[in-house]
Amino acid sequence: MGEFELIRHYFAAAPCAQGGEGVALGIGDDCALLELPAGQQLAISTDTLVAGVHFPAVCEPALLGQRSLAVAASDLAAMGAEPVGFTLALTLPEVSAAWLKAYAEGLERMASQCRLSLIGGDTTRGPLSITVTVFGRVPSGQALRRSGARPGDALCVGGYLGDAAGALALVLGERQAPSELAEPLLAHYWSPPPQFALGLALRGRATAALDISDGLLADCGHIAKASGVALEVNLAQVPVSPALQAFLGRDAALQAALSGGDDYVLAFTLAPEYLSCLAQLPGAQVIGRVREGQGVTLLDAQGQDITPQQRGYQHFRETP
């Protein structure tokens, strides 16, 4: 079987490539065709992952399949969009049936979880890199954006932070841990679940939102800049998981939560009248507030400014 036949076998024939709601035409033609109901807008986002920069050059392809789709799909959740489809562009140093089979299996698991249909893509030869473009739909005017936060709003997050950053030493084989600690951390690194239910619940309620990919403080800075406001983060309210605390200790766990990145948990702002809805959003909690001004400030338990210089971290960054 030649390389193009292999690729068609493992992707075009996959269950996730057989169409779905909103997909009028999927793989097999020059373009896919998507159908949007009246009054809906198309949400589109693209993510490129490069070996040695965004993931370890040597890793399990099934895990990579899960991760490569999950991190792209998280952008749809952050906009309050419902998933429709995705395209996949693979650059491969060589064509391996075993690698393609395992990668496709991981991709299929995440596609099924996210209810996303594979609708097209491309392949070429070169250093390993993966580009995923995701498509979703959202009622016109209801997309969650970064630019609506207002003074007096609460700053919230959708769950524990720092688990993926804490898992990095495990991913790289630099540390070991008992399975009860390692497994939840590694699961969040390799298979971060896009928070679609939360994004949908925040439509018409959140004044601003995004998914945390570069670290809490760095990404809160994007909301602050887009909205023209200042955000205050209370260190004591930043949620870290019991597994992360047991693995790193409290102080290092908080550092991972603040600037480690790769969380793919939603950060959002809520007007005071909607704070009661947090009780119906599992894992969501207030971590600070929006005020007049600019930038992001980290406060300790006494209200003192302890904002660090390091706001975010990019894993596997190449040194010059």
In one-letter notation, the amino acid at residue 45 is: S
**CB distance 42 to 135 below 8 Å:** yes
Domain residue ranges of the chain, discontinuous segments joined by +: 3-139, 154-299
pLDDT > 70 fraction of the chain, expressed in percent and rounded: 95
pLDDT at 313 over 90: no
User: Which one-letter DSSP state was computed for residue 42?
Assistant: E
Q: What is the pLDDT of residues 118-133, one digit of tens each?
A: 999 988 899 999 999 9
pLDDT at 1 over 70: no
What's the pTM value of the predicted model, to 2 decimals? 0.93
Which CATH architecture does the domain made up of 154-299 adopt?
Answer: Alpha-Beta Complex (3.90)
Mean residue pLDDT across the chain: 93
Read off the tokens for 183: 């497994």
pLDDT at res. 11: 87
CATH entry, 3-139, from 3.90.226.10, 3.40.50.1820, 3.30.1330.10, 2.60.120.10: 3.30.1330.10
Question: What strand order describes the sheet that includes 40-50?
Answer: 40-50, 129-139, 82-92, 117-125
Q: What is the pLDDT of residues 63-90, one digit of tens each?
A: 999 999 999 999 999 999 999 999 999 9
Q: Any idea which residue has 């996210």 for tokens? A: 114
Per-residue pLDDT band at 4 (split at 50, 70, 90): low
Per-residue pLDDT band at 316 (split at 50, 70, 90): very low
User: Which one-letter DSSP state was computed for residue 318?
Assistant: P
Reported in sequence order, the residue ranges of 51-171 that DSSP labels E, i.e. its strands, are 82-92, 117-125, 129-139, 154-157
Per-residue pLDDT band at 2 (split at 50, 70, 90): low
